[in-house]
Amino acid sequence: MESMLLSVVKERRDQRKQTAFVDALLQSSLTERQVMEDCMVFTLAGCVITANLCIWALHFLSTSKEVQEKLHQELQDVLGSDPVSLDKIPQLRYCQQVLNETVRTAKLTPIAARLQEVEGKVDQHVIPKETLVIYALGVVLQDADTWSAPYRFDPDRFEEDSARKSFCLLGFSGNQTCPELRFAYTVATVLLSTLVRQLKLHQLKNQVAEVRSELVSTPKDETWITVNRRKSWTQSAEPSN
């Protein structure tokens, strides 16, 4: 994959007919290898995280009518019938809470790793400089000492500053927001703002969604929901898959 992406980087330097993501990177002062690594991050982490964030968000919304209706009300209040835009996304605070709680409940990124830049110490254990440290985020995200009712899907918990602060300090990418997670949140917001304003989402009876934890947590089996149109968009309310 490195070889393929490097060849694309070299090829794009001479082709400016269309603007693609890689072109924006090439306009910076990054080296070819850095451009390749950023492309890999968004190709692998960005797209996989985005897809599974959307899957889990729709699943959890289908299990909670109250959360879904609260989200629908915010979308109506902020957007009305207009399409979502970048300037309106920051105003969708409850939608952000829904996505935060989706990441937490599904343990979307169960592990994270970063290189220790300075020598550190945990109790009596010394962590040498340039040691790769792996964080068990999946454990921390459902730690009962940090989160009340940790296994319950409850976006309202992120109304509290303490919950938002605990979530921000988990170390997805140090003290900066993970770029691929920001990308995933933006795409998921567009998806939810489109679907939830038009459709009601319902859980499939007797379906239990189990988590398979890998680099990104995914459902072990296909996750299904049923939908029907909201009457504000059409009078038809026939269920469909």
User: Which residue ranges are tagged as binding site for heme?
Assistant: 178
Residues annotated in the binding site, as ranges? Answer: 178
Strand, coil or helix: 130? coil
Q: Cα separation of 29 and 26, whole Å?
A: 7
Q: Cα separation of 120 and 93, whole Å?
A: 36
Helices (H), 81-160: 93-105, 137-140
Q: H or E element: which one contains 112? A: strand 112-115
Q: Please choose, from the candidates 56, 60, 61, the residue with its C-alpha nearest in 3D space to the C-alpha of residue 185.
A: 56
Spacing of C-alpha 57 from chain mean position = 9
Q: H or E element: which one contains 165? A: helix 161-168
Q: H or E element: which one contains 212? A: strand 211-212
∠ Cα 96 101 107 (to 5°): 130
